[in-house]
A and B are shown apart, each in its own frame.
Chain A
Amino acid sequence: MTAQATMTAENGARATRSDLLTMFRKTASEVVEKDFHHVEESTVISELAIDSLGMLEIIGSLERQLRIQIPDESLTGLTTIRDLLDVVEQRQD
């Protein structure tokens, strides 16, 4: 994550789409202890070999960083990282 993205999140301001992707890569890499810096918006979540508990942990961390809450219902049926970032972006609004 860039220093700027960190500051954006910590100031509570709206993170840009590319900040969010960067944030996902960094958070996933920390939580699962595996390198996820290659992840793109088109990446299919189920192909990341992250189990559902791991994904929830990542989402929990994103929620804390961005000071948002993502309801469980909106997590069902997500396929790609793009879908996930769409949900995150909506919650920032």
Chain B
Amino acid sequence: MAHPRFVAPTLVDAVRGLGDDRSRGFVFVRADGSERLVSFHDIAAEAERRAGHLAARGLRKGDRLAMVIPEGEEFVLSFLGALFAGVVPVPIFPQLSFKNVEGYHDTVAHIVRASGATMLLTSASTRPYVEPVLRREDTLRALATVDELSGASRPADVRVTPDDLAFLQFTSGSTSRPKGVVVSHRNLAANAEAFMIHGLDRDPAVDKGVSWLPLFHDMGLIGFVVGPLFTNVPCVFLPTASFVRAPRLWLDKIHEHRGTITYAPNFAYALVAKRLKDRDVEGLDLSCLRVAGCGAEPIQARALRDFAERLAPARFDARAFLPSYGMAEATLAITFVPLRDGLKTDVNEAGSELVDCGRPFPEHELAIIDEAGHRLGERQVGQIVARGPSVTAGYFQEPELTAQTYRRLGGQTDGDPWLHTGDLGYLAGGRLFVCGRVKDIVIVRGRNYYPSDIEWAVSELPGVRRGNVVAFGVPVEGEEQLVVCCEGTSADATAIREATAACVASRFGLSVHEVAVVGLASLPRTSSGKPQRRKTRELYLARALSRVRDGDAKKAGDIEGGAPTEGPAA
């Protein structure tokens, strides 16, 4: 296996290597707006100290430590403390406001059980919300808060090697229960080298990262804590909730700290474009920003263009856009577009504009395969598979799931298995374009249709708002048929149904089984506000999707309560 050439072999070595630097480090912005610099020296010393405390509490190398710590500074220092002790941290997202508490306890209990964590580390503010889990899980022996780890400690004295498990990244699968990706120090080093050095050509003397991304997800944790520590880049962290409440804060911090690198999912660029007013942009100077990365969810060209337009008066350079592709199973990133390429797109045969997500990093491979596992050619759509030193070994204590996801291609008899991403895409000129999820594909009479193509086309119709359309296939008398659900008002319902059916017929040559018009904001959504295709489909099949009343009562009778029977088609 390839060894990293430009970074330390483990994150522990990397952090210790920064231990003499008392002037640079990580700046944590708190919810009240105050800032605190924790120098690289202090980070290394504090990690060493917390490691000693964890060891003193009986945690041994390889033991799992669940962590629910919303405060960025405490999270980072505790995460590193665990690594220094050879203990495997298991980051868990904190309770979201307004969500039901029982559901949250179930998720935490599941992750604790699946990881076999023996201790849960939390903060004083969060303790009441996780305490009930202690009584539910027998393996979980203790709950501690970070302030209980204060004071001097004896060094943990543990040797950490590249093949050691560094941490478990639980992925929030939209359909299945969360599963823990096993990320080794070798994976971390390989990916950090790939994106920070080969991808971003980072310069420790100049670069500064700015991030509001949650630290319990791969993009925030690997992208802004692990990568920068391996490659000596200072960063500024602000709370996720502060960004959502006031999106301008993200840009203010880039401006104030002269940030050069930031990263966000598509929705955040759209949010900024939508919320910022002219007066918010006044006085901002974003000319320092050389990389505005985008990943973690399908990238829509329009969101990035709207952002660039909105921020042009602040001297934002659109060539900073850096679309990418990756996933927790590959540590973080698999492909990046080259620096300064900016946003490039391709129009597929259905007329959808897809964003160029770049090419794989050195020593990493990407291929597109058909259902039989054979490689496809240029511009042929199939499942995206990847391998290389950033690709992890699988899911923690899930041998079957691991074997399904990490396997050899058709006809391959030796060599490393390939990570089967479950995403559909194609390669054109060596660049990756992502089309959607394998499981979401709609196959009608042997032809493949991608829900996102249909959703984008329908989104352009009058009365239908962008991002409020979901398309999926349902079985009807043994055949798969297309259903489109749109949010709309009852006044527009008839027009929306007719226009949607006509649009799908003309653009895709496909007749819609049913166009269901549902109330505004009533489609099930993810935490980032995207309609959930599979959940909507489940509701539809369970006849639990409530449609708006129609202006024309007779027509409404045709579809109400309607699951797979005959519906209006083009």
Contacts and interface: CB of A to CB of B under 8 A. Distances in A.
A60 B32 contact: no
12 contacts: A52-B97, A54-B529, A56-B97, A56-B241, A56-B244, A56-B245, A57-B245, A57-B275, A61-B245, A72-B239, A72-B241, A78-B98
Interface in B92-118: 95-101
Contacts of B528: 53
Nearest to A54: B529
B142 interface: no
Which secondary structure characterizes the binding site on chain A?
helix
A51 to B, nearest CB: 5
Given A51-B527, A52-B527, 9 more contacts: A33-B465, A34-B521, A46-B99, A53-B527, A57-B244, A59-B245, A64-B246, A71-B31, A72-B241
A57 B246 CA distance: 7
Interface string B514-554: 00000011100111110000000000000000000000000
A32 B521 contact: yes
A63 interface: yes
Contact of A75 (B97, B526, B529): B97
Contacts of A78: 97-98
A93 interface: no
Interface of B: 31-32, 70, 95-101, 125, 129, 239, 241, 244-246, 275, 465, 520-522, 525-529
B98 A52 contact: yes
B465 to A, nearest CB: 8
A72 B98 contact: no
Interface of A: 32-34, 45-46, 49-57, 59-61, 63-64, 69, 71-73, 75-78
Contact of B525 (A51, A71, A72): A51
B245 A50 contact: no
| Chain B CB within 10 Å, residue with most, of A51, A69, A71 | A51
Q: Which 9 interchain pairs have the tightest Cβ spacing?
A: A60-B245, A75-B97, A56-B244, A49-B521, A52-B96, A34-B520, A73-B125, A34-B521, A51-B525
A3 B457 CA distance: 41
B529 A51 contact: yes
Contacts of B246: 60, 63-64
Nearest to A56: B244
A49 B522 contact: yes
